[in-house]
Amino acid sequence: MSLAECKKECNLKRNCSCTAYANLDVRNGGSGCLLWFGNLTDIRDFEENQDLYIRIAMTESTGSSKKRKIILVLLTSVGVVLVGLTLAVLLYGYKKKISPRAGNATSSHYNMSQLEKLKKAYMPTQGSTIYLRTFGLI
């Protein structure tokens, strides 16, 4: 049995309870497959080079990358929210600076008695001349 067939045997036929597999090199032209189920309790140390393939759950192998992805998404979201809030505050301040303030607005509303008093105060008397300065090009 080849290593690929041993892997297939471990992955498919044993209801995913296979925890490890190894290609067994039987002398005199034969080969086989060793499968482990549950805890790896009967492991031996061989002098020759033989490999043991241990199956682990996908969540165990990628747990740290999932955490990194979650942290990256959270940091990106927080960054976008902070930039949005900063722009909103700056835009609000800019609009507030441009719009006229109610306290500084001058009122051009006079009642009629005030207008009559102002008119009489600035009207020239009979026979007097009003001199107005003019600017012109010479």
- Residue predicted with more confidence, 63 or 72: 72
Q: Across the strands, what pairs with 52?
A: 22
- Helix, strand, or coil here: 88? helix
The segment with the largest mean pLDDT, out of 10-14, 80-84, 120-124, is 80-84
pLDDT at 71 over 80: yes
pLDDT of residue 88: 94
16: amino acid identity, one letter: C
Q: β-pairing, 52-54 with 30-37?
A: unpaired
- Residue predicted with more confidence, 75 or 126: 75
- Residue predicted with more confidence, 94 or 78: 78
pTM, entire model: 0.36
- Residue predicted with more confidence, 64 or 30: 64
By percentage, how much of the chain surpasses pLDDT 70?
62
Q: Rounded CA gap, 16 and 7, in Å?
A: 11
Residue carrying the six token digits 């241990």: 54
Residue carrying the six token digits 């036929």: 13
138: amino acid identity, one letter: I
Residue carrying the six token digits 């507030």: 96
Alpha-carbon torsion, ordered 45, 47, 50, 52, to 10 deg? 10
pLDDT tens by residue, 23-34: 776 554 447 787
pLDDT at 103 over 60: no
